[in-house]
Amino acid sequence: MIPIAQPFLGFEEADAARAVVLSGWLSQGSEVASFETEFAADVCARHACAVSNCTTALHLALLAVGVRQGSEVVTVSHSFIAGANSIRHVGAIPVFVDIEEGGFNIDPSRIADAITPRTQAILCVHQMGMPCDLQSVSAIAKQYSLPLIEDAACAIGSQIRIDDTWRKIGKPHGDIVCFSFHPRKVLTTGEGGMLTTDNDDHDRFFRLARQHGMSISDGVRHASPRVIFEEYLTTGYNYRMTDIQAAIGRQQLKRLPEIVARRRSLAMRYRVLLTAVSGVRAPSEPGWTKSNWQSFAISLDIGLDQKRVMQHMLDNGVATRRGIMCAHREAAYTADPRPHALGRSEAAQDRSILLPLFPQMTDEAQQQVVDALRAAIKACSKTPAMRLVKA
């Protein structure tokens, strides 16, 4: 069986975690601090603050820019539901807009229509690692004086060209960027997240809010020769990252160039191999982006049944996943008003399939995936239902 994904970890990560276990300091200590410094340097952000996952990162980001009860946040429905949920977590309302033609990211031309006097922020997503059109999105945010938060859960190691310069996702083009280190992402710490920002006040807020609003950290009290008492300055949360996770993350960060290079070369090869398969369209990469290809989503031609193609491939030893979900179709969101058209989002969910892609994947395994896809499409095209559609 070829899995959809596989984390890329080795003895270096295991040894780093072991060293922390034996060190006597397990949470939000020096490993977390070093991971933050190295991460900020890697993406060229002034600050990086580690948290427990990307959903908690999004929660703190929304609070930091002033999103509150009754606010609206313009975002996409076509994304993992954590984005919409994080907006609900602060009592605000996600206002969904559609994605672009031929891609899976927010359509910048739909944003202005969705802005109202209640709008407090724009939350854009670099879906499956592919950078969204940040230049257009941030221009709109500036025009309407709205904070911009980037959901870069999947986008560590991706790049975008702005003003003829290649920049890593994580250097904020709005206010705050949020990352995930879940095992399905390109860099993993088991669970984990990171907030990057150039804003000193935001970073101060993140550090306070992630550990119960505590004025003086355990680390500082531990190192102090004098007795000091902490204060609790705001209603905080427990969104801490452990040093075990951070130690793994530091090793992963060292591997990141190798991981991204391998993913990119597999993605390029998929695109070549798929030119010989009819009935599908490979994802495209705009010239101003370099995706980390966290996921590789192909689009099926109309008439091909997504679930049947996937089942046929599974029966032939290849695991796939359906395209990215749409939050507005889930029970948690169906009661919300839906003022903006989301047809492309729905089509993307219904017609795309994620193919296996991970650094350890061999060229043979990749060929096997493409062969299984070709066979599945052939089998699913021959059904009576399909002939009916064609007729």
Chain positions contacting ligand PLP, by CB under 6 A: 53-55, 79-80, 82-83, 125, 151, 153-154, 180, 182, 193
Contact between 156 and 128 under an 8 Å Cβ cutoff? The reply is no
For ligand PLP, give the closer residue by CB, 195 or 304: 195
Q: What are phi and psi of 18, to 5 degrees?
A: -60, -45
**CB of 188 or CB of 381, closer to ligand PLP:** 188
Specify whether the CB–CB gap between 47 and 197 falls below 8 A.
yes
Catalytic residue among 168, 185, 378, 382: 185
Query: What CA–CA distance (Å, rounded) separates 282 from 353?
Result: 10
Q: How far is the CB of 325 from ligand PLP (least distance, A)?
A: 10
Q: How far is the CB of 53 from ligand PLP (least distance, A)?
A: 3
- Choose between 55 and 349: whose C-beta lies nearer to ligand PLP: 55
Q: Give 47's DSSP letter.
A: E
Q: Which of 107, 82, 98, 69 is nearest to 338 (CA)?
A: 98
Give the nearest distance from C-beta 128 to ligand PLP in angstroms.
8
Report in angstroms how near the CB of residue 162 gets to ligand PLP at its nearest: 21
Report DSSP state, residue 240.
P
Residues 6+ apart with CB under 8 A from 10: none
Active site residue 307: no
Q: How far is the CB of 239 from ligand PLP (least distance, A)?
A: 11
278-282: long-range contacts, CB 8 A cutoff, minimum separation 24: 278/377, 279/304, 279/377, 279/381, 280/373, 280/377
From the CB of 89, what's the least distance to ligand PLP, in Å? 12
Q: Which is nearer to ligand PLP, 115 or 152 (CB)?
A: 152
Cα–Cα dist 379/373, whole Å: 10
- Positive or negative, the CA dihedral 137, 138, 143, 144 is positive
Order of strands, edge to edge, in the sheet holding 165-168?
A: 165-168, 159-162, 289-290
- Note every long-range contact of 383-389, with CB atoms under 8 Å and residues 24 or more positions apart, other chains counting: 383/308, 385/305, 386/303, 386/304, 389/302, 389/303
Residues that are catalytic: 185
